[in-house]
C-alpha cells in the first residue's frame, strides 16, 4: 500500500509544491491576476501553477492546466499544449480519475512526438507507467518506465534517473520479485544521496521502512517518520500522508494499536484536507485493519465500506478491503453479507489470474472456511446450553422444524424478490420503448417542419420579395412611402433569415450531411462564448444517436447561458472505437445536483440518453460552474 508513494514520485521531477522558478505560488497567482502580462507569459504561469498544485489540490491543478491549454492553442504553441496536457493528465491521476488521466497523457505523448520534445516524452512515459501501476497493470507500467530510462540517461539527469529506478523497484516489489526490487532501490538510494535529492531519499526511506517492518518495529517507524518529515518540509501533503500510514502499519503489525490508530487518523485528516482520494482510501483500509485486529469488527466494516466508496478501482487495495468485509462480517454473524463479499473477492482474483492472487485466494478460502466453522461451533455450543433441559429427541425435532421454516421463508422471499425485479424490468422496458417512440416521432416531426418551413414558407417569402419590386415599378411613391417600402423589404429579408435559422436549428442540414463534428462546430462557432474541441475519429454514427447528442449539446449550452449565466463554455466531443462522450463545461453559477429543480430539461436529457443505453454524469456545486458528461458505448453496426 505504501508503494503508491513511489508510483507518483516521477510526477515531481525537480519541482517543489510551494516555490517554482524562484517565486512562491501566491506571488505567481497575484502576478497572473494583477500583472500586465503577454499571452505567452500567462501560458508559462499557468504551466507552473498547474504543476505546483499537483501535491496540494489536484482540482485547482486541473483548472489551471485547462485554462493554459486554451491560451496555448490560441497562440498555436504546440510545445506548451503538449506540456499542459501532460500536467492535466497527472492532475487527473492525483484526483483519482485514472481514465481521464490516461486519455490526456496519451494526447500529450502524441503532441510531444510531433514537436520532437524527447525530454517531455520521457516524462510522459513515466506518468503513463504510474497510471498503469495504480490499476494493477504492472507489466505495462514496467515497460513504460523502462522506455523512459534511455532518454533520462542521455540527458545525464541523475536525479530523474533515481526517481525512475524507485518506480521500477516498486513495480518489481508488486510483482513479487524482491531481488530485482532491492537492486533498483539500491541504485536509487545511491543516486539520491550523491545528488542530495531529498524527495528521492524520502521514497527510499519508505521502502526501508517496509523492509524493516517485519523484524524491527522501531527501525521501521524511524525510517517512515524521517520520510514524512522530508515530505512535510517539501510541502508534498499526499506523500506525507502515505509516509504516516507506513508508521501506522509498522505499529499495528506489532500489535501496538493505539499509536497505529493515531498515525492512521492523522494521515486521513491530511488526505481529506487535500482531497487526495487515493490516500484517503489507503488510510481508511489501515484504520479498518487496526479495528479488526482489536476485534472491533463493526468499526472495521464501517471503515472498509468508506474506503470502498472512495476507491474500489485500485486493485492494490481492493482485495484488502474485501477481505476485511468478509472476515469482519463473519465475526458479526452476517453470513450472507460475508458470502457476498467473498464472491466479489473470488471474481477479483479470477480476473487478475496471477500467481500472487491465486495464492491469496487459497489463503482466503481457508480463512473463510475456518472462521465460518469456528462461528458455527460457537452457535451450536450456545444452542446446547440453551436447550440442555430438553430431551435430545425434542431438540432434534425443533431444530429440523426451524431449518425447514427458514428454507421455506427464504424461498418465498427469493421468489417474491424475483417477481418484483421482473415487474420493474418490464416497466422500465415499457418506459424506454415509449420514450423511444416519442423521440422518433419528435425527430420525424422536426424534420418535416424544418422542410416545410424552408421549402414551403421560405420559398413563398422569397417569391413575395421578388415580386415586390414589380409592384413598385411604374408607381410614383413619395419619400415617406418609399422609405416604408424599403423598410418592408428589410423586414422581409430579416423574416427569411429568421425562418431559415429556425429551420436549421430544428434539423441542421450539416448534421444530416456531414455528422456531429461539423454540425456541433457550426453551432458552437455561432456563439462567441462557446469553445468546441473534438478528439478521436469522425466516422458517422447511427442517425438517432447523432441527433440525440446534437440536441443534448444544444440544450446544455442554452441552459448554461440562460440559467447558469456562464461567460465561458467548453464543449468537448471524444469519439473512440467503442464509445463516444460529450462534455459541456461552463464557469457559471453552478448548482447542487442533489436538490430537485422545477425544470425538466436535464431530466428529459437523462431520459433520452437512457433510451440509447448511455449514462449521464453531473459535476457541479454552487459558485463553481457545471460539468455534464454524456457517454455511450458503440456497437459495431454504429461505427
What tens digit of pLDDT does each residue of 17-51 get? 333 444 567 788 888 877 678 888 889 999 989 88
More confident residue, 47 or 178: 47
Q: How far is CA 268 from the centre of its chain?
A: 21
Instruction: Look at residue 409 in the predicted model and tell me its pLDDT.
Output: 83
Cβ–Cβ under 8 Å, residues 54 and 86: no
**φ and ψ of 574, to 5 deg:** -120, 120
**Where is average pLDDT lowest: 55-64, 131-140, 167-176, 471-480?**
471-480
Residue 84 has pLDDT above 90, yes or no: yes
**Where is average pLDDT lowest: 5-19, 215-229, 275-289, 370-384?**
5-19
Average pLDDT, integer, range 467-493: 66
Instruction: Look at residue 177 in the predicted model and tell me its pLDDT.
Output: 82
Residue 617 has pLDDT above 60, yes or no: yes
Kindly state the cell numbers that stand for 256: 501496538
| DSSP reduced 3-state for 531 | strand
Instruction: Look at residue 362 in the predicted model and tell me its pLDDT.
Output: 43
Cα separation of 259 and 583, whole Å?
Answer: 46
What's the pLDDT tens digit per position in 554-599? 889 988 888 888 999 999 999 998 899 999 999 999 888 888 775 6
Instruction: Look at residue 83 in the predicted model and tell me its pLDDT.
Output: 93
Average pLDDT, integer, range 522-527: 87
Q: How confident is the model at residue 259 (pLDDT cuts 50, 70, 90)?
A: very high
Closest among 455, 562, 464, 541 to 499, alpha carbons compared: 455
**Strand 569-575 to strand 530-536: parallel, antiparallel, or no bridges (unpaired)?**
parallel
More confident residue, 579 or 404: 579
Tell me, what DSSP letter sits at residue 19?
A: E
Instruction: Look at residue 546 in the predicted model and tell me its pLDDT.
Output: 85
Residue 401 has pLDDT above 90, yes or no: no
Cα separation of 211 and 191, whole Å?
Answer: 20
Instruction: Look at residue 119 in the predicted model and tell me its pLDDT.
Output: 85
Q: What share of the chain is helix, strand, coil (3-state, %, to 5)?
A: 75, 5, 20
Cα separation of 565 and 590, whole Å?
Answer: 9
Q: How confident is the model at residue 188 (pLDDT cuts 50, 70, 90)?
A: confident
Residue 389 has pLDDT above 90, yes or no: no
Give the mean pLDDT of the chain. 78
Cα separation of 184 and 178, whole Å?
Answer: 10
Cα separation of 111 and 107, whole Å?
Answer: 6
| DSSP reduced 3-state for 354 | coil
Instruction: Look at residue 80 in the predicted model and tell me its pLDDT.
Output: 93
Instruction: Look at residue 583 in the predicted model and tell me its pLDDT.
Output: 95
Cα separation of 631 and 464, whole Å?
Answer: 47
H or E segment at 566? none
Tell me, what DSSP letter sits at residue 68?
A: H
Closest among 384, 370, 638, 413 to 516, alpha carbons compared: 638
pTM above 0.75, yes or no: no
**Where is average pLDDT lowest: 294-298, 336-340, 463-467, 477-481?**
463-467
Instruction: Look at residue 3 in the predicted model and tell me its pLDDT.
Output: 41
Kindly state the cell numbers that stand for 541: 454514427
Average pLDDT, integer, range 66-95: 91
Q: Calculate helix-pair angle for 315-332, 335-352, nearest 10 degrees.
A: 160
First vs last C-alpha separation in the chain: 41
Instruction: Look at residue 96 in the predicted model and tell me its pLDDT.
Output: 75
Instruction: Look at residue 510 in the predicted model and tell me its pLDDT.
Output: 66
Instruction: Look at residue 499 in the predicted model and tell me its pLDDT.
Output: 57
Instruction: Look at residue 457 in the predicted model and tell me its pLDDT.
Output: 55
Residue 530 has pLDDT above 80, yes or no: yes
More confident residue, 350 or 413: 413
Cα separation of 190 and 177, whole Å?
Answer: 20
CB atoms within 10 A of CB 428: 11
Residue 13 has pLDDT above 60, yes or no: no
| pLDDT above 90 coverage of the chain, percent | 16
H or E segment at 20? strand 19-20
H or E segment at 579? strand 579-586
Residue 574, beta-bridge partner list: 535, 581
514-638: what CATH class?
alpha beta
Q: How confident is the model at residue 496 (pLDDT cuts 50, 70, 90)?
A: low
Average pLDDT, integer, range 228-246: 88
Residue 375 has pLDDT above 60, yes or no: no
Amino acid at each position: 500500500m505504501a508503494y503508491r508513494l513511489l508510483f507518483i514520485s516521477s510526477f515531481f521531477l525537480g519541482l517543489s509544491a510551494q516555490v517554482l522558478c524562484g517565486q512562491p505560488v501566491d506571488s505567481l497567482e497575484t502576478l497572473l491576476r494583477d500583472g500586465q502580462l503577454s499571452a505567452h507569459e500567462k501560458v508559462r504561469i499557468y504551466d507552473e501553477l498547474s504543476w505546483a498544485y499537483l501535491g496540494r489540490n489536484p482540482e485547482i491543478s486541473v483548472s489551471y492546466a485547462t485554462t493554459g491549454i486554451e491560451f496555448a492553442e490560441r497562440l498555436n504553441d504546440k510545445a506548451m499544449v503538449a506540456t499542459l496536457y501532460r500536467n492535466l493528465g497527472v492532475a487527473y491521476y492525483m484526483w483519482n480519475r485514472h481514465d481521464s488521466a490516461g486519455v490526456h497523457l496519451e494526447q500529450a505523448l502524441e503532441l510531444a512526438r510531433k514537436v520532437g520534445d524527447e525530454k517531455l516524452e520521457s516524462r510522459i512515459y513515466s506518468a503513463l507507467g504510474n497510471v498503469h501501476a495504480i490499476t494493477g497493470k504492472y507489466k505495462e507500467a514496467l515497460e513504460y518506465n523502462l522506455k523512459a530510462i534511455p532518454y533520462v540517461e542521455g540527458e545525464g539527469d541523475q536525479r530523474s534517473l533515481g526517481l525512475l529506478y524507485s518506480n521500477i523497484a516498486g513495480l518489481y516489489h508488486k510483482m513479487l520479485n524482491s531481488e530485482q526490487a532491492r537492486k533498483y532501490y539500491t541504485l536509487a538510494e545511491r543516486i539520491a544521496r550523491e545528488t542530495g535529492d531529498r524527495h528521492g531519499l524520502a521514497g527510499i526511506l519508505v521502502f526501508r521502512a517496509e523492509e524493516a517492518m517485519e523484524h524491527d518495529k522501531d527501525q521501521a517507524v524511524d525510517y517512515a517518520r524521517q520520510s514524512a518529515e522530508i515530505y512535510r518540509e517539501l510541502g508534498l501533503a499526499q506523500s506525507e500522508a502515505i509516509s504516516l500510514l507506513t508508521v501506522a502499519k509498522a505499529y499495528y503489525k506489532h500489535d501496538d494499536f493505539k499509536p497505529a490508530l493515531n498515525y492512521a487518523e492523522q494521515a486521513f485528516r491530511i488526505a481529506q484536507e487535500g482531497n487526495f482520494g487515493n490516500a484517503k482510501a489507503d488510510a481508511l483500509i489501515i484504520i479498518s485493519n487496526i479495528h479488526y485486529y482489536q476485534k472491533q469488527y463493526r468499526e472495521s466494516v464501517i471503515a472498509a465500506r468508506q474506503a470502498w466508496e472512495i476507491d474500489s478501482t485500485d486493485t492494490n487495495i481492493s482485495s484488502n478491503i474485501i477481505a476485511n468485509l468478509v472476515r469482519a462480517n463473519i465475526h458479526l454473524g452476517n453470513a450472507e453479507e460475508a458470502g457476498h463479499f467473498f464472491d466479489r473477492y473470488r471474481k477479483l482474483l479470477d480476473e487478475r489470474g496471477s500467481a500472487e492472487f491465486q495464492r491469496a485466494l487459497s489463503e482466503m478460502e481457508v480463512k473463510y472456511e475456518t472462521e465460518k466453522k469456528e462461528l458455527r461451533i460457537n452457535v451450536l455450543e450456545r444452542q446446547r446450553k440453551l436447550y440442555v433441559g430438553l430431551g435430545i429427541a425434542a431438540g432434534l425435532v425443533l431444530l429440523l422444524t426451524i431449518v425447514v421454516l427458514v428454507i421455506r421463508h427464504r424461498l418465498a422471499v427469493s421468489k417474491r424478490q424475483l417477481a418484483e425485479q421482473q415487474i420493474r424490468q418490464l416497466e422500465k422496458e415499457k418506459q424506454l420503448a415509449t420514450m423511444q417512440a416519442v423521440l422518433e416521432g419528435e425527430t420525424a416531426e422536426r424534420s418535416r417542419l424544418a422542410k416545410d418551413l424552408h421549402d414551403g414558407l421560405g420559398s413563398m417569402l422569397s417569391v413575395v420579395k421578388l415580386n415586390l419590386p414589380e409592384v413598385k415599378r411604374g408607381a410614383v411613391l413619395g419619400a415617406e412611402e418609399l422609405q416604408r417600402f424599403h423598410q418592408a423589404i428589410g423586414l422581409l429579408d430579416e423574416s427569411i433569415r429568421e425562418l431559415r435559422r429556425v429551420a436549421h436549428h430544428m434539423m441542421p442540414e450539416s448534421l444530416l450531411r456531414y455528422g456531429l463534428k461539423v454540425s456541433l462546430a457550426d453551432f458552437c462557432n455561432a456563439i462567441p462564448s462557446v469553445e468546441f474541441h473534438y478528439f478521436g475519429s469522425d466516422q458517422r454514427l447511427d442517425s438517432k444517436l447523432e441527433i440525440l447528442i446534437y440536441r443534448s449539446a444544444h440544450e446544455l449550452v442554452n441552459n448554461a447561458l440562460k440559467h447558469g449565466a456562464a461567460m465561458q463554455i467548453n464543449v468537448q466531443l471524444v469519439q473512440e472505437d467503442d464509445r463516444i462522450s460529450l462534455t459541456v463545461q461552463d464557469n457559471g453559477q453552478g448548482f447542487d445536483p442533489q436538490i430537485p429543480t422545477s425544470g425538466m430539461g436535464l431530466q428529459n436529457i437523462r431520459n433520452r440518453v437512457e433510451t440509447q443505453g448511455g449514462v449521464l454524469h453531473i459535476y457541479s456545486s454552487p459558485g463553481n460552474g457545471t460539468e455534464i458528461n454524456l457517454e455511450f458505448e458503440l456497437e459495431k453496426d454504429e461505427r
